[in-house]
Each structure stands twice: as structure tokens, then as C-alpha cells.
Structure 1
Amino acid sequence: MTETTNEALTEEQLKQEFDDLYMHIFKYIGDFVSIPTQKYNLTFEAYMVMENVARSKNGQTLVELAKLEGVSKSAIARQVNVLLKENYVMQKVDPNDRRGKYITLTAAGSRVQRNLAQATAERFHRWLGFFGRDEAEHFIDVLHKANERAIAAGFVGFDSLHDKRRNSNRNSENHGRLGNL
């Protein structure tokens, strides 16, 4: 909080604190984790898709990736399209079901994924050193609680927050529940 006081903050003051923290901390965290991916023309989200593909021996389907990431198939397809364009992944047809396609890393994608894994690990260790383990664990616990409450309010992954078609139909019914986030 910007001011130390024993008095409870008004709702307006809480909103101002939230807005300030969003602009100065959460956006910073997004930028902080995304810096290593930028030199490869990727977002952090696309890198996370690469991580999930790399963990799989035979690749992942779009449906499997969507489930792992907690977003819609169309959200994963957008990330995979970027990875395909950059030649970091390829699609292999399932020999048992020609309709099924598995996403696998290319040789270039494997190199990029390893480089990014090292770079993101280094950035994480810097972050951990800055906060210390106890504060980092507390911060992550608070974010888990926020995520659980967002899911309870009807949001499933960040895609549902950004999907204007779904949100326009939900805004009136969820508006009252958003205060519980």
C-alpha cells in the first residue's frame, strides 16, 4: 500500500491500489518473464506450449495442449500457428487415426526450447533471490487463491477473460460474482 495506516481503506482507495499494482507489478512480471522469448519472436504463452510439447515423447494434440494450458482449443491453435510459422513445431498425422495430428518440436524448436528453458530459469532465480523463498511462496499462494476464485466465478483460464463473445453474454450474470475475486 502506498500509505501505512491503521484505518481500513475505502473501496475507492482499494481500487486505486489495485490499479497501481497492476500497472507497476503485474505488467512488470509479464514483461519480466517475456523478455527471453522476444528474441525468438514468441510470447511467453507460446513458449509454455513448447514446454508442454517438449515434455511429451510423441507430441501433443491441440485438445491435449488446451487441457494442459487450461484454455480453449482455439487459443492453443493461435499459439501453435505462431510456432508453425517460426518453424519451431510441426504437425504429424496419427498413423492410427488420420484425422488426429500431433504437435512435435522441430530441431530448431528443440534448440529454442532448451535456450528458453535456461533463460527463464535464470530469470526465475533472479526473482526468487529478490523476494526470498518465504515471500515468493506466499505470493504464489495468493495467486493460487485468486485463480481458484476466478474459476469458481466461472472463468476457465485467461482465454475466457479475453473471449469477447463469451464475456458479452456473461457480463450481466457474472458481474455480481466478480466482486468475490
Structure 2
Amino acid sequence: MASSDELLNKAISLYMSTLKSLDSFISEPAAKYHLSFEQYLILHDVANEKKIMLMDIAENRQVTRSAISRQIKVLLRHKYIYQRADPHDRRRLFLHLTKTGKAVEAEISANVTKRFAGWVDVFGEDKAQEILDFIEDFDRKIIKSDEK
């Protein structure tokens, strides 16, 4: 049985060798288009919702509107999305994909799906589900409990 010091050292080693690289691994399909994975996820949300606004995305992701606004500015600058006012309330701005945005979102989505399928192929569906369940459990019991 490993001591708590050995477990800590292994956790630090895994963090340094693997977990720090996980973000890059996950973000790689979006990087070709100079987007973060979070920006891609917003693009994906806009692609999959007919009427979506900045505040809807912020609420769904449980982050501030200003955090989403910063991400949306990048998507607007790249001309992947545009905003259109609600004809019944001009203050409400709906987000839409441009033609380029549709193509970019579709390509990144295909690459993300392919990358994830490769991960499942390596571990098998049962092990992949166990890993995801563990991460979800860790988030709920450790991360979210620390936020209280």
C-alpha cells in the first residue's frame, strides 16, 4: 500500500507529465483556427441552438456574462459569428454562425469526435466510462465541495 507521501509524489508527477498537457490535447482541433476549446464550445452551442444569446451561454456554462463576452469578441473578430437584434426587443442580441463559422464548427466538431473516438478505442467503452465517472465524482466531491 502506498503511503500518502508516495501518493502525493505520484499525483505531482502525473500533473506535471499528463494533466498539464491534457488541455493542449483537447484544444488541438480548435487551435488550427486560432480558437481555444472554450471558444469552439461557444461556436458549437451557436450551431446547435436556433435562438441563443450571450446570457444563455453564460447561464449554461455557469460563468459570468463578461467571461463569455470576451470569448464572443474573438469569434466576432474572426467573423465566425454575428449578432442580430431581436425584432421585438432590440436590446436582445441573438448569435448566429457565418458561412465560415459553420464550416469551421463542422470541421472542428468532426476532429473532436474523431479524437474522442480514438481515445475510446484505446481504452474501450467501459474503461472510458469509468474514467469519465471518476472525473465527474472528483469534480463533485473535491472541486465543487472546495468552492462552498
Cα RMSD (Å)? 1.5
- Where does residue 177 of structure 1 map in the other structure? none
Regions of 4+ moved over 4 Å: none
- Where does residue 100 of structure 1 map in the other structure? 92
**5+ residue gaps in structure 2?**
none
**5+ residue gaps in structure 1?**
1-6, 155-173, 175-181
User: How many angstroms apart in 1 are the aligned matches of 2:54 and 2:145?
Assistant: 25
Deviation at 1:16, TM superposition (A): 2.0
Q: 1:119 aligns with which of 111, 118, 127?
A: 111
Q: What's the TM-score, normalizing by structure 2?
A: 0.91
One-letter amino acid matched to 2:115: R
Q: Report the count of equivalent residues.
A: 147
Say whether residues 1:84 and 2:95 are aligned partners.
no
Q: 1:38 aligns with which of 31, 42, 45?
A: 31
SS in 2 for 1:71: coil
SS in 2 for 1:42: coil
- Correspondence list, 1:1-181, <5 A: 7-10=1-4, 12-58=5-51, 60-149=52-141, 150-154=143-147
More helix by share: 2
Q: Percent identity?
A: 33
